[in-house]
Amino acid sequence: MPRKITIEPVTRVEGHGKVTIQMDDNNNVARSRLHIVEFRGFERFAQGRPYWEMPVLVQRLCGICPVSHHLAAAKAVDVIVGAGTGEGLTPTGEKMRRLMHHGQIFQSHALHFFHLVSPDLLFGADADPAIRNVIGVALEHKDLAVQGVMMRKFGQEIIRATAGKKIHGTGAIPGGINKHLTPEEKDEFLKGKDPLNIDKMIEWSLGALDFFKGYHAKNAEMLDNFAVFPSNHLSLVRKDGAMDLYHGVLRAVDSEGKKILNDVDYQDYLKYIGEEVKTWSYMKFPYLLSIGKKDGWYTVGPLARLNTADFIPTPLAQKEFENYKAYTKGKPNHMSMHMHYARLIELLHAAEVMKELLNDPDLMKGELVTKGPKAKEGVGLIEAPRGTLFHHYRIDDEDKIVMANLIVSTTNNNEPMNRAVNYVANKVFNGKKEISEGMMNRVEMAIRAYDPCLSCATHALGQMPLEITMVDSSGNVLGKKTR
């Protein structure tokens, strides 16, 4: 009898997502789908608001990555106020924003690896979820848990020093930044008491990479064969091909590494990227127009960024990048679990960039804001922790937003996440009559590799983040699991 297995998080306002696995009469997976309810209401909400409000307003979108939205919106608004597209800011304005952004990348990547991924690696996919979590890590591997907490805290302090506030930060303003870094703040980040200083952060980032590589040496079979599928990859890169998480041109490569989007100006993104609507999902499916809907989908995020970039412009991360590239003989890496490896290389890169910036005197002096001839439209792109984030605004004569279009990282990864889930479903659900904890967790692991933004900005008490329901073709519930 055909069966349908549903994995459904039940949340209050947004971030609804569920996995539906349709079984055929032979008890094999016929089809799987990952649904995430994208909250598009914000784009309508923005209409009629003054453009200069956007860098603060967009932080309402998400309590998880407000800094990424803050900076992407600021970059779009920079264009509107005539401050250019990322290169027109004053040195202080650009460098302070870069510091804020790399603080965000650092804390987000550290949180993801130490507190979400490490439990899977340390305890295994089949372990009891009561143990396989950050508190289990704290019990069994206290040093790792402490490092995760302190790295997250360091990144948060960088954000506080640059964005000004924990909630609804105001650091990035149209055309620049609203403050310098103080000498006291700089000294604290550079020479603060252990462990909260940048050298310790670099040391721990290297340690995290060693941990992953050590794990890989013993578990290559699993890591190299879990949710592997060919994909196009898209990200910003610096004009010379270097990894640049804050600004650059838009590049995409195909599964063999051939450029299929050749370093174009992202102000023209609508010439290159379309968004397909599918009846079964609220979330759109972006694709490269030149290739078409069927094969033009792409991956964004850490794996994509390491697949598109020619090099990393900081020495320690570059050294690791060379090892990473050598593993696939220079070809793009399509192994979903290597997303974690890529994320750790970026963690190290972010720490190196922060150190470089903290030693730059421009952070503590110089003009903060620049402006020029006004424009009616602006696009801001940034490489958020989870991947490329697009903000696009158009204004009227009264400086009010008449059009807002956002493509968030999780939307960009819609198709690859579906492919990852499908890959795992076919590996672990075929022939099974009920969902085991290990099966459920393997599906989660596939989704988690992309670190999608599911839970989002609101989170009142009483939420039920994840529910798995298994039903047969008649709708009878065969089993249910909640997380």
Partner 1 sequence: MTSGAYKVLVYGYGNPGRQDDGVGVELAMIIEKECPNIQADYNYQLNVEDSLRIAEFDAVIFIDASLDAVEPFEFMKIQPSHDITFTTHSMLPNSVLSLCQELYGGCPDAFVLAVRGYEFDFAEGLSPRASRNFSKAYDFLKGLLLEPSEETLSHAAISKKI
Residues forming the site for partner 1 (CB under 8 A) = 9, 12-13, 41-42, 45, 57, 59-61, 63-64, 66, 111-112, 115-116, 129-131, 133-136, 138-139, 142, 145-146, 148-150, 152-153, 156, 166-168, 444, 448, 451-462, 465-466, 483
Rounded least distance, CB 448 to partner 1, Å = 7
Rounded least distance, CB 42 to partner 1, Å = 6
Rounded least distance, CB 283 to partner 1, Å = 16
Q: Are strands 232-237 and 298-299 parallel, antiparallel or unpaired?
A: parallel
Rounded least distance, CB 316 to partner 1, Å = 25
Q: What is each CA distance from 54 to 22, 86, 92, in whole angstroms? A: 42, 17, 21
Residue among 79 and 110 whose Cβ is closer to partner 1 = 110
Angle between helices 183-191 and 142-163 (to 10 degrees): 160
Q: Which residues contact 309 (CB under 8 A, 6 or more apart)?
A: 235, 237, 241, 242, 243, 321
Q: Is the dihedral of CA 163, 169, 171, 172 positive or negative?
A: positive
The rounded distance, in Å, linking the Cα atoms of 444 and 68 is 24
The rounded distance, in Å, linking the Cα atoms of 162 and 185 is 10
Rounded least distance, CB 160 to partner 1, Å = 11
Residue among 94 and 451 whose Cβ is closer to partner 1 = 451
The rounded distance, in Å, linking the Cα atoms of 117 and 51 is 39
Rounded least distance, CB 286 to partner 1, Å = 22
Residue among 57 and 77 whose Cβ is closer to partner 1 = 57
The rounded distance, in Å, linking the Cα atoms of 412 and 286 is 6
Rounded least distance, CB 94 to partner 1, Å = 26
Residue among 271 and 480 whose Cβ is closer to partner 1 = 480
Q: Is the dihedral of CA 223, 224, 228, 231 positive or negative?
A: positive
Rounded least distance, CB 199 to partner 1, Å = 20
Residue among 155 and 332 whose Cβ is closer to partner 1 = 155
Nearest partner of 412 among 289, 275, 257, judged by Cα: 275
The rounded distance, in Å, linking the Cα atoms of 283 and 292 is 18
Residue among 106 and 266 whose Cβ is closer to partner 1 = 106
Residue among 309 and 406 whose Cβ is closer to partner 1 = 406
Residue among 9 and 332 whose Cβ is closer to partner 1 = 9
Residue among 277 and 460 whose Cβ is closer to partner 1 = 460
The rounded distance, in Å, linking the Cα atoms of 333 and 342 is 10
Rounded least distance, CB 188 to partner 1, Å = 16
478-483: long-range pairs with CB below 8 Å, 24+: 478/3, 478/433, 478/434, 479/434, 479/435, 481/435, 481/437, 481/440, 483/9, 483/129, 483/440, 483/444
Rounded least distance, CB 458 to partner 1, Å = 4
Element (H, E) at 477: strand 477-482
Cβ(109)–Cβ(418) below 8 Å: no
Residue among 44 and 329 whose Cβ is closer to partner 1 = 44
Three-class DSSP category at 245: coil
Nearest partner of 387 among 277, 251, 234, judged by Cα: 234
* Beta bridge partner(s), residue 176: 173, 369
